[in-house]
Chain A
Amino acid sequence: MTFFEAKDVVKQYAGHKALNKVSISVPKGSIFGLLGPNGAGKTTLIRIINQITGPDAGEVFFNGQPLKPEDVKRIGYLPEERGLYKKMKVGEQAVYLAQLKGMSQKEATKKLKAWFDKFDILPWWDKKVEELSKGMAQKVQFIVTILHEPELLIFDEPFSGFDPINANLLKKEILELRDKGATIIFSTHNMGSVEEICDHIALINKSEKILDGPVEQIKKKYRTNTYEINYIGEFDKLDQVLKADFEIIDQAKGIEFNTLKIKLNNGSTSNELLEQLLPYLNIVSFREIIPNMNDIFIRVVKESKTI
């Protein structure tokens, strides 16, 4: 079931198009990766979802209904450019931001204290923001984003600036929220950082969506049928004994073992390859090279250019 949908969204700025007929569809309860290089239009799309800006053309649906101003309290947004009032007290500020999302002061205070406690920052409640470390400030920002229990959570470059410990904490919390039913959108140019937790993605490049779908399917679609074989021993006439269907892409010598990359063409199988290799080589490991999102992205961009 689709929770959020954008249809043919166009956003024009003077001199350039930020989004050109971009459509995405975010299933309910999924973790959706909005990927693409800097300046591709991701943040513009996110700002449209948050109604910070409006689309010039196209439609946006939230839970099946056209997006309404009241929906802001059902959305939690952690922008890439995020900060806090430096001179304000931490607790006061968190309550203020929660109130702007429509929570009552009492409710916000109660929930915030629980979250602060969970993240071990309760002693900082009455301190000024400028006294916090960067990691603590980020925890506060995260808490404020999710405090009002939004159905849709949007994180723009969520892990930039987080240290690995906090990044893991964040990931854990986000997964927990997903399990409780929230739908999550991640936007990042660092594709490696989110591909393991995303189940759907959309690739955006130069204002256009160039690829989208479930991660499994995409990976399947873009598998290259290439295998990496680590082996011990020497055999330099491999290209002569292998069938023409097996294309040697790379051959490298290592200290403990040597590495071979072979592409399977014309429907040949990995078993056939193994059979062919076994008489000559002492195999240590054998695995399929699965392309990561970066590779896929580069490939798709190249393909779209040649068209």
Chain B
Amino acid sequence: MAAMAPGGASGSDIYKGNAVKLLLPTWLVIGVFLLIPVMLMAVYSFLTKEFRGGVIWEFTLTAYDQFFLNRGLFGDDPASIEWTYIGIFWRSIWQAGLATILCLLIGFPTAWFIATRDARMRTVWLLIVTVPYWVNLLIRTVSMKFLIRDEGPLNAALMWSGIIDAPLGIINTNLAVQLGLFYSYLPFMVLPVYAAVERYDFSLSEAAADLYASRWTILRLVILPVVKPGIIAGCILVFVPSLGAFLAPDLLGGAKSFMIGSLIEEQFKGAAGNWPFGAASAMILMAIVMIVLLAYARSQTRETRT
């Protein structure tokens, strides 16, 4: 439709024939930074592992076999389903999902609040939201650790005020990991939601209210459909990096249990040195994320058709 719009037609005439050349930088970036690394990883996941890291150029399915089939500690039991890695994936997905929901619950009202201030204050609030993120993620995670440790200021303050008599013992638990993920990725939710809410035409709410819609109905039937793209973008931006996070699990969770990120890291950096298995795990993770996104995209197109 856009091409039919006045101005659009003449614009495309100017660039006619140059399209391929003009798109070259894009393809170069996508190719060099996305396609080639992913292809490399895909190929590595089907290669034979070399002892202590590296690969031997012989095709095998061993890495995927190791992921899905359990053959016992010594590798000669009859094969059954391997729950170890599925369990690790499930733990990560669950943690990332919860972080996404928390970020949405806090991020949406925050974004709404900012978008409804006057223009000058909006800039100030956005600055306040982003400033902490100029500091490196590692440093912020370590600071969070200092804050919540048993001897840290949070417990000291709560104990001083008499709310609790013993430290909460949050450090090295899943709750601490959750807190870390939530804190790390909150602005990724706030900013896209803000961008969507800012474009929202508030007279729509007034019109709905004039037609006797309740506040809840306005939110559900008027506001949410309009800001939905921002919410979806925010959810993806929080969920995907949370899924691969390993700083928060390592530093706040005590590294007791593998998350997807640390499992993959261990294959490349740890004693296991199993590059094909690390690559296979990464491929499986990518497949899961893509299936979820595709399913979402399909459900969207169906919705618009009906």
Do chains A and B stick together as partners? no
Interface residues of A, Cβ cutoff 8 Å to B = none
